[in-house]
Amino acid sequence: MVDILNEVYNMVDPYALYIAAGAVLLCIILLILVIVLFVKLKKTGDRIDYFMRGTGADSLEGALRKVIDDNQKVKIQLKNNVNEIVKINENLVGAYRKIGVVKYNAFPGMAGKVSSVIALLNNENNGIIINSIHGQEGCYTYVKEIMNGKSINPLTKEDEEALKIALQMEL
């Protein structure tokens, strides 16, 4: 038997054995690569199956169309919301947003602080001061106009205090 192997060895070119061994090694490497590729293909197939649930490619297309349609609706609603916010902000410019209130006792003989002053100002510090004085003879209300944080009419101490409170409000 050894003689037969020696005889075969002598008949074969020594480099041919190296080439055969290299070819076998290359086949093993290629087999490993094929196995790795099959595993990756299986994972990719699972991902595709996840997106293709339902009737096949139509379900994926339908899902994408729905997402695109929903996105368009959201964009339209966002634009409408922005327009509404702009309108609200335009309306708020003239609204009284700064308020100062002072309660005081106009007549020391009366019980409690029943008189009051309220300053109502907008963003530009324009507005009014309403002073309501309660006494034994009746109630008197005075309104004074405020322009840029100042009054044309003389202000009482309480009026000035209410105006100061309103002017100090942060928006």
- Euclidean distance between CA atoms 131 and 141, whole angstroms: 6
Q: Do residues 159 and 104 share a domain? A: yes
What is the residue range of 114's domain? 98-167
Six-digit token string for 25: 């090694």
Band of residue 12 on the pLDDT scale cut at 50, 70, 90: low
- Euclidean distance between CA atoms 39 and 4, whole angstroms: 45
Q: List phi, psi (to 5°) of 139.
A: -120, 135
Band of residue 135 on the pLDDT scale cut at 50, 70, 90: confident
How many domains does the chain fold into?
3
Q: Do residues 82 and 25 share a domain? A: no
Q: Do residues 58 and 46 share a domain? A: no
DSSP class of residue 171? -
Q: Residue 145's Cα: distance from chain center in Å?
A: 41
116: left (phi over 0), alpha (psi -120 to 50) or beta: beta
Q: Do residues 1 and 20 share a domain? A: yes
In terms of pTM, does the model score above 0.75? Answer: no
Q: What is the pLDDT of residues 18-43, one digit of tens each?
A: 788 889 999 999 999 999 999 999 99
